[in-house]
Chains A and B, each alone.
Chain A
Amino acid sequence: MSGATTISRRRQNAARYVRIWAGILLAAIFLFPVFWMILSSFKLPRDIFTTPPVLFFDPTLETYISYIQRADISKRMINTVIVATGSGLLSIIAGSMAGYALARVRIKGAATFGVLILMSRGVPPIALAVPMFLVARKLGLTDLHITLILAYCTFLIPYVMWLMRGFFVGLPKELEESAMLDGCSRFGAFFKVIAPISIPGILSTLIFSIILAWEELLFALVLTNRNASTIPVAIAGIAGDTVTGANWGALTAVGTMTVIPVVIFALLVQKWLIKGLADGATKG
């Protein structure tokens, strides 16, 4: 009897090691393309276009320097920051308030709006991009930051609303009840009591919204051309350049510059992000 249990325990231990090493190996495989991109961004063209591909070489910042100096990349970087934070902030305010309304403030008819807004997550962006382009063109609003910011609200507000609704539902009701007994208005209760204690949830949702806006391509392609153009548009241009051929140095350098800030942000709030993803899936 005791022999059998030690064998099964040993087997369990072996299985545990297999699981752990499988996890590490799979994480490494999934990370490899990012690693390869970062590595290649420090290569000179002669180290990129070579067989066999090299792992060790003289690292250089040349690609970065020559690319950052080009005005359109740094300007696009600034545009991307403006548009991503702008749309993130606007959506977090409008989306949190709506999420709170759906979670706590009983309003007749609001649930219908909630469902409609939720349904809008299924709307293909191309069905919005065509009319937005036409309207923006007619009103002279193309190539402005604010146009892109508003366009990003179409997918960010529904997303924020749903995540924050789930968050507010989990808060104890006594919080705003006591605040309102103390003479706070409904707004006061929300902004002075609920919002402050929800900072972690609000912040991680905000960061995730900024990431989503940061990476958006379709609206940026359609609604901007020079003034407000963003980094993803530049990358699409470099990647799809069939005339001058593959400019992989530029692709990897700009790609790395795009990905690194997002990865840092994501890792900073990873605990909340994973929880938000799981909640977003199970409750949305």
Chain B
Amino acid sequence: MVVPADTIKKGNEGVGPSRPRGYSNLADFASRWSFMMPAIIILMAVLAYPIFYTIQISFANLDLASFTATEWVGWENYQAILMDRGFKNSMKVTGIYLAWAMPIQMILGFGIAYLINAEWKGRAIVRALFLIPMVVAPVVAGGIWRMMLDPLWGLVNYLLGLIGMGNPDWLGNSTLAMATIIVIDTWRWTPFVVLIATAALMALPREVFEAADIDGANWWTKLWSITLPLLAPIIAATFVVRWLGAVKMFDIALASTSGGPGDATNVVNLYIYEQAFRSLRFAESAAMAVIVLVLTMILTGIFLLGTRKLENMY
């Protein structure tokens, strides 16, 4: 893409005074846009096109022999999935997971960052160590925790037994299985929130706190009237980033509970995956994917607007 811009420029030298401007404008236009072009071309092919294709399949019948959409069926697939109990259940399960995991991770993350916020020599090392859980592949995280939570040989139940907490069947009980994936997800993502929160706390203006100290404010007043308002935009932004990751929940559930017991932890991404690639119900799963896509986009939009508002408020 460098070449056409250059050749046009060279062509300019020979032509009359009136035309170069038009040419160089064109060259300028091309050279500006060519910065965006690689990204746009790739994303058109692998992002925009698949989304349109999903929408198309969701309104059609799919021929499994040729993997192509055959006939237009209107809203039939959507009607079918609205009757689908498994889909409704997976939406509910995802909702429960999000409603627990996100607040827990946000509160724990900012709480821990606030708690350990002290200046000392080893601070950088501790921060680096917090980086490790979040780079452990989610599928590995699910696997390790599954091993540690095993009722027979697992370390967690052994320790619980020592303090007389019985022998909970983490992956066999619906409520505990949900708790398990929330715990694994929290283990992996809280450090991420801690790191962002630590960076934010370190960037707070020190003078404000010194002034508050002189005024004799106690730590509670300082926390509520200085720290939290100053952090509000970052808390909101972290929430959005965490939300964008959490709605994609798939690997951890697959590796630790495989959606079970029954459908207790069958989050929506896992359910659609199974419907498409195990039951080969491609058209219906496309319709489900479209519903999830629309819902996610709406909620993401709302959260982004909320973040903007918060940023403008403070």
A97–B301 alpha-carbon span in the complex (Å): 26
Number of cross-chain contacts by CB at 8 Å = 310
Chain A residues whose C-beta falls within 8 Å of the C-beta of B144 in the assembled complex: 33-34, 36-37, 251-252, 255
B7 to chain A, nearest CB (A): 12
Indicate whether A151 reaches chain B with its CB closer than 8 angstroms: yes
Instruction: Give the number of chain A interface residues (Cβ < 8 Å).
Output: 100
Given contacts A186-B31, A232-B139, A263-B132, contact A130 B46 (CB under 8 A): no
B39 near A94 (CB under 8 angstroms)? yes
Q: Which of A57-65, A67-75, A267-275 contacts B (4 or more CB under 8 A)?
A: A267-275
Across the interface, do A284 and B237 meet the contact criterion of CB distance under 8 Å?
yes
A278 to B251, CA, bound (A): 25
Given A30-B133, A53-B155, A130-B276, A282 contacting B234 (CB threshold 8 A): yes
Contact A124 B191, beta carbon cutoff 8 Å? no
Chain A residue, CB-CB nearest to B290: A127
Contact (A51, B158) CB under 8 Å given A131-B57, A217-B250: yes
Q: Assuming the A-B contacts A23-B118, A113-B40, A236-B255, are A101 and B32 also in contact, with contact meaning beta carbons closer than 8 angstroms in the complex?
A: yes
Residues of A close to B123: CB separation below 8 A: 23
Does A251 contact B153, Cβ atoms closer than 8 Å? no
Of the listed residues B43, B66, B150, B196, the one surrounded by the most CB atoms of chain A closer than 10 A to its CB is: B43
Closest to B140 in A: A255
Hey, which chain B residues are within 8 Å of A128, CB to CB? 46-47, 50-51, 54
**B241 contacts partner chain A, Cβ-Cβ < 8 Å:** yes
* Contact assessment for A120 and B140 in the assembled complex, using a CB-CB cutoff below 8 Å: no
**Highest count of chain B CB atoms <10 Å: which of A126, A238, A246, A280:** A126
In the complex with contacts A37-B144, A239-B146, A278-B199, A187-B5 CB distance below 8 A: yes
Closest Cβ–Cβ distance, residue A191 to chain B (whole Å): 9
Which chain B residues lie closer than 8 Å to A267 at the CB level?
A: 128, 131
The answer for the CA separation of A262 and B229 in the assembled complex, in Å, is: 36
Q: A97-B36, A130-B54, A151-B46 are in contact. Are A138 and B66 (CB under 8 A)?
A: yes
Q: How far is the CB of A34 from chain B (nearest CB, A)?
A: 6
Among residues 204 to 224 in chain A, which have CB atoms less than 8 Å away from a CB atom of chain B? 211, 214-215, 217-218, 221-222
A137 to B81, CA, bound (A): 25
Cβ contact within 8 Å between A26 and B255: no
Set A127, A211, A281: member contacting B293, Cβ < 8 A = A127
Instruction: Indicate if B98 sits at the interface (CB-CB under 8 A).
Output: no
Are B35 and A98 in contact, CB atoms less than 8 angstroms apart?
A: yes
Contact A277 B115 (CB under 8 A): no
Q: Does A123 contact B (CB under 8 A)?
A: yes
A198 at the interface (CB under 8 A from B): no
Closest residue of B by beta carbon distance from A115: B304
Contacts of A126 in B (CB 8 A): 250, 269, 272-273, 276, 285, 289, 292
**Is A181 at the interface (CB under 8 A from chain B)?**
no
**Residues on B with beta carbons closer than 8 Å to the beta carbon of A284:** 237, 240-241
**Is A121 in contact with chain B by the CB < 8 A criterion?**
yes
Bound: A154/B39 CA distance, A: 10
Choose among B46, B49, B122, B150 the residue with the greatest number of A CB atoms under 10 Å from its CB. Answer: B46
Q: Which of B112-146 contact A (CB under 8 A)?
A: 112, 115-118, 120, 122-123, 126-133, 135-146
CB pair A135 B53 closer than 8 Å = yes
Task: Give the complex CA separation of A178 and B176 in angstroms.
Answer: 63
Chain A residues with CB under 8 Å of chain B are 16, 19-20, 22-24, 26-27, 30-31, 33-34, 36-37, 40, 48-53, 90, 93-95, 97-98, 100-101, 105-107, 110, 113, 117, 119-135, 137-138, 150-151, 153-154, 157-158, 161, 185-187, 190, 211, 214-215, 217-218, 221-222, 232, 235-236, 238-240, 242, 246, 248, 251-252, 255, 258-259, 262-263, 266-267, 270, 273-275, 277-278, 280-282, 284
Closest 3 CB pairs of A and B: A23-B116, A101-B35, A19-B118
5 contacts between A and B (CB under 8 A): A122-B247, A128-B46, A130-B286, A134-B57, A282-B200
